[in-house]
Amino acid sequence: MNEKTSVGNILILGAGQLGMQVIKNMASRVSPDSVRVLVEPGFTTSPDKYKEEATEELGKLGVEILPFDLSDGTEASLAELFAEFHTVICCTGFAAGAGTQMKVTHAVLAAGVNRYFPWQFGVDYDIVGKGSGQPVWDEQYEVRKLLRSQEATEWVIVSTGMFTSFLFEPDFGVVDLETGTVRALGSWDTRVTVTTPKDIGLLTTEIYLEEPRIRNEVVFVAGDTLSYGQLAMIVEEATGKAVKRVALSLEELDEQLSQSPDDVMLRYRKAFALGTGMWWEKSKTYNHAKGIYTVDVRAWLHRHLRDKR
């Protein structure tokens, strides 16, 4: 579809790595003047290079910027802001602090927003439930319970797995390209689903515009689903070098977490080592059903290595 679609006013929360991809895709498919983006105060005047470039791009897209502090803002002030919009799409994750996702969701419901895409761009929180070792995930489970307890606001959850690039974050400690090390969380057979922000932006827009309208549903998408064993083989194939394989068992991760209970990355490692709820078959996703190409880990890594040269 090349022509712009007429829709109600859309508010996108956040202009970070994911938010910008959703904004760009949405602005290309609907009238840009129906899209607004909420950012923290000072975003547009910040000397930070990313924020400078994002502000410039938002201006070129014709998307209006609304400054608002999600951390300090009250539920009532958020609800007053949200009441002007037909749809709210939350692309601000855990950086805003614990409790933010519940506050935003309560405000969306209080405002009577027609349609809500919460920040659930991650794992299958229905299966993960509570007690995964990652406290913010407990909050995500509560967001789902809250949305399902009401009928006034339609909701759509887009489950994406982790960002593909996160597998290669040195702090996460799964793939260390510098030392040629790959670590398995749980076991080499443990699986994980990953998707790039660019693909999430495209697919979220497609899901938003889908007819008949998707409502009150969890929609699964995936760039790739693979085991840590397969990941090690892909890294070897892409780099042309043998990798050092290190398996981190649940028991070992529990021990590490007991020594450093406030280590956020350790919490993530423990949670993903559980395996359950962290993956789904790519053949059963929205993008597969629609024939929409997504970037898998092999393609992402080859591109990443090429860009570094």
244: in domain: no
Q: Where are the beta strands (DSSP E) in 230-279?
A: 244-248
**How many residues belong to the chain?**
309
**Is the residue at 246 inside a domain?**
no
The reported pLDDT for the residue numbered 133 is 66
Kindly indicate the confidence band of residue 2, based on its pLDDT and cuts at 50, 70 and 90. Answer: very low
Q: What is the pLDDT of residues 7-45, one digit of tens each?
A: 569 999 999 999 999 999 999 999 878 999 999 999 999
**CATH number of the structural domain spanning residue 138:** 3.40.50.720
CA atoms of 45 and 41, how far apart (whole Å): 9
Q: List the structure tokens of 36.
A: 């607004």
Residue 252 lies in a domain: no
Non-local (6+) Cβ contacts of 158 within 8 A are 117, 120, 121, 200, 203, 204, 207, 219, 221
Dihedral, CA of residue 264, residue 270, residue 273 and residue 275, to nearest 10:
-90
Whether this model's pTM surpasses 0.85: yes
Answer yes or no: is 185 within a domain.
no
Q: Considering only CA atoms, which of 207, 208, 211, 234 is closest in space to residue 221?
A: 207
Task: Tell me the residue type at 180.
Answer: G
Distance CA 125, CA 128 (A): 5
Residue 302 falls inside a structural domain: no
Q: Tell whether 182 is covered by a domain.
A: no
DSSP secondary structure string, 129-146?
-S-SS-HHHHHHHHHHHH
Given this model, what pLDDT does residue 7 score? 58
The per-residue pLDDT for 32 is 78
Phi then psi for residue 275, to 5 deg, are: 80, -55
Cα(161)–Cα(199) distance, integer angstroms: 12
pLDDT value at residue 6: 47
User: How confident is the model over 53-73, as pLDDT tens digits?
Assistant: 999 999 999 999 999 999 889
Give the mean pLDDT of 292-298. 98
Residue 180 counted as domain residue = no
**What pLDDT sits at residue 3?**
46
- The per-residue pLDDT for 131 is 74
Distance CA 37, CA 252 (A): 43
- Please give the C-alpha separations between residue 260 and each of 169, 253, 254, in angstroms, as whole numbers: 20, 10, 10
Has residue 5 got a pLDDT over 70? no
pLDDT tens profile 235-265: 999 999 999 999 999 999 999 999 998 898 9
C-alpha to C-alpha distance for 96 and 136, rounded to whole angstroms: 11
| pLDDT one-digit tens code per residue, 114-145 | 999 999 999 999 999 887 767 788 999 999 99
Residue pointed to by tokens 């995936």: 222
How many domains does the structure of the chain reveal? 1
pLDDT of residue 96: 73
Residues spanned by the domain of 81: 10-162+196-223+277-295
154 assigned to some structural domain:
yes
pLDDT of 4 over the 80 cut: no
Question: Is pLDDT at 286 greater than 90 in this prediction?
Answer: yes
In our burial notation (b when 16+ CB lie closer than 10 A, e otherwise), range 119-152 reads bbbbbbbeebeeebbbebbbbbbebbebbeeeee
pLDDT in tens, 183-229: 999 999 999 999 999 999 999 999 999 999 999 999 999 999 999 99
